[in-house]
Each structure stands twice: as C-alpha cells, then as structure tokens.
Amino acid sequence: MKKLPFLLLIAAVPLFVACSQSPAPNIAATTAILAPVKLTIEAKEFSFSPAHTTVKVGQIVEVVLKNAGVTMHDFTIEKIKLKDKSVSHGDEHVMDTASGMDPDQLPVHVAAATGHVGDVTFTPTEAGEYEYYCTVAGHKVSGMVGKLTVVAP
C-alpha cells in the first residue's frame, strides 16, 4: 500500500512536465521581416526591361537603372505611398518639360546618362499596381512605361 502513492507520483510527473512545456515559437511565422530585393531594370529607346515586376509591401526595394540607350533615361514612379522618402543615386535629374514635374518632388526617381547606372531605394507601404516611366520629354508617350505590382507579404 505504501508503494501506491509513490507509483502515482511517478506516473504523474511526465504528465505535469508535458503540460508545462510550451513549444518554441516559430520565429519566421511571428516576425514578418522581408529580405530586401534588388531589381535591375534596363532602359533603352523606348522601353524598360523587364516591363513588369512584383515586390511585397514593407520590402526594401533597390532599383538599379542601367541605361543601355543612346540618350538620357530615368525611372519614375509618381503615385506610390512609401515608408520614408526614397533615396536615389544617379547622374543627374531629368525633368519632363511638357509636364513641368520636378524630380525632387516625385516619390521614386533616378536618372542615368547613356552607358551609366543609377539606383533608387524605397519601401512601399500599400499593395497595388504602380506605373513606372521615363520622364524625358516624349519617352512616356513613345511607350517607355512599365508596371510595379506590390502585393501583401
């Protein structure tokens, strides 16, 4: 009879241990940190390659604009909501004189001279489809446009 309480205690210990331990959290599932993405986009008369690309909301996006054309080109997204102001490094600013747009007022903009490269980094905050285009006079109307699709993570 003295062994019964002892046996019950031994049988209950694994049950208490199993119930008291919680599984380790899945860090990947609880933390939505997205790896930055680098997109190389080639510009030439009068197109971008690729003409369509997809990124995720909250993802840091670096667009590298490679000018393979014979004239100045740029990469511009006019209507997009960003986490912070975009940061660009290019040869010089380009302004579409027909529309009077100031590149410094555009959310995403980088220019590259012939044979050069420019880059712009930004983080989109809303899903949607955003047109990118070249602001050099006459380039957009000649078909120098593309589409950036931003999807939920």
Rg (Cα) of the chain, in Å, rounded? Answer: 27
Q: How far apart are the C-alpha atoms of 65 and 135, rounded to whole Å?
A: 14
Domains annotated on the chain, with CATH: 32-151 (2.60.40.420)
Q: Give Cα 80 to chain centroid, integer Å.
A: 12
Model pTM score: 0.73
| Model confidence pLDDT, tens digit, residues 62-98 | 999 999 999 999 999 999 999 998 999 887 555 544 4
